């Protein structure tokens, strides 16, 4: 009898151990499936977050499609995205100056300005126009690569268990961006130096010109790029600015004007009309360039820009 009781007791203990052991193991997949919720203000940042975070992050973009990040204001549904986000990444350098977006960033306990971080590490690489910082740092792939470290550091602080994953993926992304940067540089440097000039709608391509269009001996590299509108495409178009660009087109024998995907073509058309009256042979490129916004992936958009510019300017050279 005693032996039977011992056997029954052992059986019950064994079943209990099996049951609770299974219950504990069943929680692991749920824990491992948890993803950090990341909100990025622009797609250029979101692309980096996606590459670095992989399956450990759930990533969303605030300013989507062809919307203007300079003046974007919060719309219905944005509040929920912000409140649920474990981390908010934004560009900084004055890009997100819509009042409601700026207030949202200031209120979030874990908001990281990747552009401001780059400025702290490399202040000499940040461009200014007068007293205003140029926020379009993603237009230089080699500079935008510097955003990887602050993003990776913030992800590791929020999710220490994913440290090795984030570090490995960030190293792979840096190599990928180095390759793309070299490819874009080589493509554009093949264009004749006398034709390596770019005119678009607004001042989104200054970093691009400094990195990819300037020659090694170019002290006045800023002449490689000009635009009638300011750093934000919502700026008021000034007749004096139009005349300044017309004079620039005439002086450097520039023939092609490049439209941007999310910017009105009004200023480009005005240049075309005014230049034609002065006898300039101008045309608008059929391909749009991606500056403030893009479709698809960031590096593909940058390669598209390089390819479109190269093709159009090479055609001028062959004429």
Residue 9: what pLDDT? Answer: 44
- What residues of the chain score a pLDDT lower than 70? 1-33, 234-236, 319
Residue 236: what pLDDT? Answer: 65
- pLDDT tens digits, one per residue of 108-118: 999 999 999 99
Q: CA separation (Å) from 162 to 32, 56, 89, 158, 176?
A: 10, 8, 18, 9, 21
Report the DSSP pairing between strands 57-61 and 36-40: parallel
Task: For the domain covering 36-179, report its CATH number.
Answer: 3.40.50.1980
Residue 305: what pLDDT? Answer: 97
How many whole angstroms separate alpha carbon 256 and alpha carbon 249?
Answer: 9
Q: Sketch the domain layout of the chain as residue ranges.
A: 36-179, 190-318
Q: What kind of architecture, by CATH, is found in domain 190-318?
A: 3-Layer(aba) Sandwich (3.40)
- pLDDT tens digits, one per residue of 140-177: 999 999 999 999 999 999 999 999 999 999 999 999 99
How many whole angstroms separate alpha carbon 42 and alpha carbon 62?
Answer: 6
The reply to whether 36-179 and 190-318 are identical in fold is yes
How many whole angstroms separate alpha carbon 174 and alpha carbon 178?
Answer: 6
Q: CA separation (Å) from 254 to 199, 250, 258, 318?
A: 8, 7, 11, 14
Tell me the pTM.
Answer: 0.87
Residue 28: what pLDDT? Answer: 34
281, 255 in Cβ contact below 8 A?
yes
Residue 231: what pLDDT? Answer: 74
Does residue 93 come out as left (phi exceeding 0), alpha (psi in the -120 to 50 range) or beta?
left
| Other CB atoms within 10 A of residue 6 CB | 10
161, 319 in Cβ contact below 8 A?
no
Element counts in the chain: helices (H) and strands (E):
12, 10
Residue 294: what pLDDT? Answer: 85
CA end-to-end span of the chain: 106
């Amino acid at each position: 009898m005693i032996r039977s009781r011992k056997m029954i007791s052992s059986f019950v203990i064994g079943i209990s151990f099996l049951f609770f052991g299974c219950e504990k193991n069943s929680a692991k997949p749920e824990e491992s499936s948890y993803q950090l919720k990341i909100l990025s203000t622009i797609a250029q940042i979101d692309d980096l977050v996606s590459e670095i975070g992989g399956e450990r992050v759930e990533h969303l973009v605030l300013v989507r499609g062809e919307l203007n990040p300079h003046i974007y204001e919060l719309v219905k549904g944005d509040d929920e995205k912000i409140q649920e986000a474990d981390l908010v990444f934004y560009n900084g350098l004055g890009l997100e100056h819509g009042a409601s977006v700026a207030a949202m960033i200031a209120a979030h306990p874990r908001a990281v300005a990747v552009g401001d971080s780059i400025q702290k590490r490399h202040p000499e690489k940040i461009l200014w126009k007068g007293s205003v910082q140029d926020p379009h740092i993603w237009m230089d792939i080699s500079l935008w690569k510097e955003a990887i470290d602050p993003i990776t550091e913030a992800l590791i602080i929020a999710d220490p268990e994913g440290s090795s994953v984030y570090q490995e993926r960030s190293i792979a992304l840096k190599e990928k961006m180095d390759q793309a940067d070299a490819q874009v540089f080589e493509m554009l440097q093949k264009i004749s130096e006398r034709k390596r000039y770019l005119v678009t709608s607004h001042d989104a391509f200054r970093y691009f010109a400094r990195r990819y269009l300037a020659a090694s001996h170019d002290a006045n590299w800023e002449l490689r790029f000009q635009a009638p509108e300011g750093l934000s495409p919502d700026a008021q178009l000034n007749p004096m600015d139009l005349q300044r660009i017309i004079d620039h087109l005439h002086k450097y024998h520039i023939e092609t004007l490049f439209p941007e995907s999310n910017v009105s073509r009004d200023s480009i058309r005005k240049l075309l009309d005014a230049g034609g009256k002065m006898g300039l042979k101008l045309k608008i490129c059929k391909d749009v360039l991606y500056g403030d916004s893009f479709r698809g992936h960031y590096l593909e958009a940058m390669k598209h820009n390089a390819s479109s510019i190269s093709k159009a300017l090479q055609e001028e050279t062959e004429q």
